[in-house]
Amino acid sequence: MESPYRLHYAPDNASLVIRLALEQMGLPYETVLVDRASDAQNSAAYRALNPNGLIPVLETPQGPIFETAAILLWLADTHGQLAPTQVSPDRAAFLKWLFFASNTLHADLRMLFYAEKYIAADQADTLRSGIRPRLRQHLNLLDAQAQKAPDWFSADHPSVLTIYVACMMRWMALYPAKADRSWYQLADTPYLQKILVQLESNPSTRAAIAAEGLGVTPFTSPTYANPPEGSAT
């Protein structure tokens, strides 16, 4: 591994969050495609890196790391970027919202996208109907935090949290592909919308757009990825 980091990714998967963080921090890294079309995430080689078979994995000098929030927090602390330091008075507030994004918002989003993995297929739409109001509530809570515009969650100061939330909002607007998505309206959360607009102009986002075929407005008016390699699903 010539670079200190190797990102195992699939286009427009949770690995996008890590790619954006690496780009925003200006860190050199390599990428390895995890070909979902051939179920590569369940291969013996990949499960040796992440026994859960989930994307992403970031290989580091300290070994492979999985779980999106864990990777983000490790990168932020290791490089002193995109998060309050461990001695900052803002650290506690940042951590609780980072883990809210990971353990609550992202967990509910997975149930929306993969309802059939959590309940019988003939009840999947009922589960999705119950999850959508929860997701709206989560976004409203985050919008209220964004209105306060702390340095770790504002349009003017990108952090690993703003990157993480922006990607999840992208996915809300796109997936599940054949389901009703009218419940999600970006204008309902104007302070989050401001963050997404600002992120789209960042060089890190431009780099991710080119690498994963995300389209010109990947957060505010997203389109399905058209990547140069691999598939988002």
- ∠ at Cα 200 (11, 114), nearest 5°? 40
In a domain? residue 180? yes
- ∠ at Cα 25 (21, 28), nearest 5°? 95
Which residues lie across from 59 on neighbouring strands? 6, 64
In a domain? residue 53? no
In a domain? residue 135? yes
**Cα maximum dimension of the chain:** 50
In a domain? residue 121? yes
Residue range(s) defining the domain that contains residue 161: 91-201
DSSP 8-state class, residue 88? S
In a domain? residue 162? yes
Q: How is residue 129 written in tokens? A: 């109907």
| Global pTM value | 0.96
Which residue type, as a one-letter code, is found at position 100? F
What is d(CA 73, CA 87) in angstroms, rounded to the nearest whole number? 14
DSSP-assigned states of every residue in 82-124:
SS--TTSTTHHHHHHHHHHIIIIIIHHHHHHHTGGGTS-GGGH
What is the residue-level pLDDT of the chain in tens, covering all 233 positions? 678 999 999 999 999 999 999 999 999 999 999 999 999 999 999 999 999 999 999 999 999 999 999 999 999 999 999 999 999 999 999 999 999 999 999 999 999 999 999 999 999 999 999 999 999 999 999 999 999 999 999 999 999 999 999 999 999 999 988 888 899 999 999 999 999 999 999 999 999 999 999 999 999 999 999 999 998 88
Which residues lie across from 130 on neighbouring strands? none
In a domain? residue 78? no
In a domain? residue 153? yes
In a domain? residue 219? no
> Does a cis peptide bond (omega within 30 degrees of 0) precede residue 84?
no
Element holding 165 (H helix, E strand): helix 160-174
Do 48 and 94 touch, CB atoms closer than 8 A? no
What pLDDT score does 1 carry? 64
Do 21 and 163 touch, CB atoms closer than 8 A? yes
What is d(CA 176, CA 173) in angstroms, rounded to the nearest whole number? 9
Give just the sign of the alpha carbon dihedral 72, 78, 80, 81: negative
Question: Any idea what the CATH number is for the domain that residue 115 is in?
Answer: 1.20.1050.10
Task: Say how many domains are in the chain.
Answer: 1
Backbone phi, psi, residue 95, to 5°: -65, -40
What pLDDT score does 231 carry? 87
